[in-house]
Amino acid sequence: MIIVLKPTATKEEMNHIVDMIQKAGLKTNVSIGDHQTIVGVIGDKTKLSDMPIASLASVESIVQVSKPYKIASRDFHPDDTIVDVKGRKIGGGNLAIVAGPCSVESEAQMMTITKAVKESGANFLRAGAFKPRTSPYAFQGMGEEGLKLLKKAGREFDLPVVTEVMDTATIDLICEYADVLQIGTRNAQNFALLKEAGKRNLPVVLKRGMSQTIEEWLMSAEYIMSEGNKNVILCERGIRTFETATRNTFDIIAVPVIKEKSHLPIIVDPSHAAGKWQYVVPMALAGIVAGADGIMIEVHHEPEKAISDGAQSLKPKKFTEMMKEIVKIASVIGVGENLKIAA
């Protein structure tokens, strides 16, 4: 349930209510908005049956919440969450442009691509050092050496880095190099990993599981947030359907649905949704129009030589063209003032 406080409620009155709830053995989640403060209550509500919370002068109303996800719900947090990563904001009208190769391959490759995407307007760098692959014989990533190269490229061009964490065994190592953790579709319901990510102080990009419903996806976010990490960015990357013309089916309607149900920012990954570079740009533009808070794009200067996912990677020139279109669209719908596109 949620306890809605009156606009006149003081901080001391809010703390008194929180203290009452926690002494009863329940958890609380406080959301302080511009016009309203909400105290979310998580746990067995029957323990509060004898407490006169509703009669307190500072309480405006008590609302029962039936959704299984609580902290991720917009009921608990009516205002949009804005995630700040080294001054780069995601959500609340700020667009995240996360770009880079699928995998770290070499220092020269990382420097070339990072320079290109930065000049074209990217504000985050992405690349994988540990790669979850369908085949055990496929390239699995460069490991820690790849993390070092990724961090070096990010520092050189002043871009926060996003990289995937695959398991609980490597999460601490990755936290030494990353600015944002990414949990991929194969681990979207790896609850042990979700909990560990929730205990870290780095923001988390949570990709949608390939067969997850939206509610299941939000429950995965809830696992992270319930451990204390509220900086979760959802990522729609396409779901598995019967269609074979594309790698996955880009569920564009998930963007406005998430916006209605949750306060968390959501970005889209048209590269993995499409699987073919020629479909990536229109899907990226569609994502922005639908209300996404950013895009995640794979870029490679020599996609024909890429070790992984070359077929869905944009060349730098195409990425630049796409960014110009995004700026046009963003200006029309009133978002993306944070974007900086080089002349």
Domain coordinates in residue numbering, the chain: 2-63, 83-333
Distance CA 243, CA 271 (A): 16
Residues of the chain under the 70 pLDDT cut: 341-343
> pLDDT tens digit string along 76-134?
999 999 999 999 999 999 999 999 999 999 999 999 999 999 999 999 999 999 977 77
pLDDT at position 44 is: 83
Cβ within 8 Å of residue 28, ≥6 positions away: 18, 21, 22, 39, 40, 41, 42
Alpha helical stretches, state H, the chain: 11-23, 107-120, 144-156, 171-175, 191-198, 214-226, 254-261, 270-274, 277-290, 316-333
pLDDT at position 234 is: 98
pLDDT at position 131 is: 77
Q: What CATH number does the domain located at 2-63 have?
A: 3.30.70.1140
CA-based angle 310:127:72, to the nearest 5? Answer: 115
Q: What single-letter amino acid sits at 166?
A: M
Distance CA 90, CA 88 (A): 7
pLDDT at position 39 is: 93
Token readout for 186 is 């194969």
pLDDT at position 343 is: 45
Q: Is this structure's pTM higher than 0.75?
A: yes
Q: How many CA atoms lie within 13 A of 280 on its CB side?
A: 25
According to the CATH classification, is domain 83-333 in 3.30.470.20?
no
Distance CA 147, CA 177 (A): 6
Tokens 């009669």, residue located: 55
Burial of 62 (0-12, 13-18, 19+ CB in 10 A): middle
